Amino acid sequence: MESRLIAVTFIAFAMVASGCAPRGGTTPAPTHSAAAATRITTAPHCPGQQDNEIDLWPLGVADNGRTYTMVRCQAVDALLLHTKADGCRWTTVQSSDEAVVAILPIPLPLPPGGSTNEAYIAAAPGHSTLSSSLVCPSGTSERWAVTLDVLR
């Protein structure tokens, strides 16, 4: 438990330091299961990136309704978990403006049944909403959305 608390504290500090922080002052610590950003190697042609490496900042179900401020070339990994055996499934996460926040075409681990996992990169200044729905056989659904404001 102590190592998880340290990891969550590190994520909150790194998000503030990198400019990927919620609007309104303090950064709430992520409450989903991801322990830290995952470093990946890609070719997004981002100025100032060494060896084309970027960090994927984790987003989860608990981030629903939040707004994060990012700069171009920062990336997020939206992992929406649903592990109950009730037949409900998260739909694929979609960006409301692919010119601002675009899908990052990288291989990701296959999430458990009922879950979804997509990576997105801040491509241009503006704002975009990432969204998904938890759709159940009973006809009920739950909406998930996170707004990403890209500054530069």
Give pLDDT tens digits along the chain (152 positions): 333 333 333 333 333 334 444 443 333 333 333 345 555 555 445 655 555 677 889 999 999 999 999 988 889 999 999 989 999 999 999 999 999 999 998 888 889 999 999 999 999 999 999 999 999 999 989 999 999 999 87
Which helix (DSSP H) or strand (DSSP E) does residue 146 occupy? strand 141-150
Burial, 37: exposed, middle or buried (Cβ in 10 Å; 0-12, 13-18, 19+)?
buried
pLDDT tens-digit readout, 84-122: 999 999 999 999 999 999 999 888 888 999 999 999 999
β partners of residue 55: 39
Q: How far is CA 12 from CA 9, 30, 58, 61, in A?
A: 5, 7, 11, 17
Average pLDDT, whole number, for the chain? 76
Place of tokens 């470093």: 39
Specify the number of domains making up the chain: 1
* CA distance linking residue 35 with residue 29, whole number of Å: 11
Query: What pLDDT shows up at residue 61?
Result: 96
The pTM of the full predicted model, rounded to 2 decimals, is 0.71
CATH number at residue 74: 2.60.40.2020
Three-state SS across 6-75? HHHHHHHHHHHHHCCEECCCCCCCCCCCCCCCEEEECCCCCCCCHHHEEEEEEECHHHCCCEEEECCCCE
**CA dist., res. 23 & res. 67, Å (int):** 6
Give the Cα separation of 73 and 132 in Å (integer): 22
What kind and span of H or E run contains 5? Answer: helix 2-18
Show the domain range for 82. Answer: 2-150
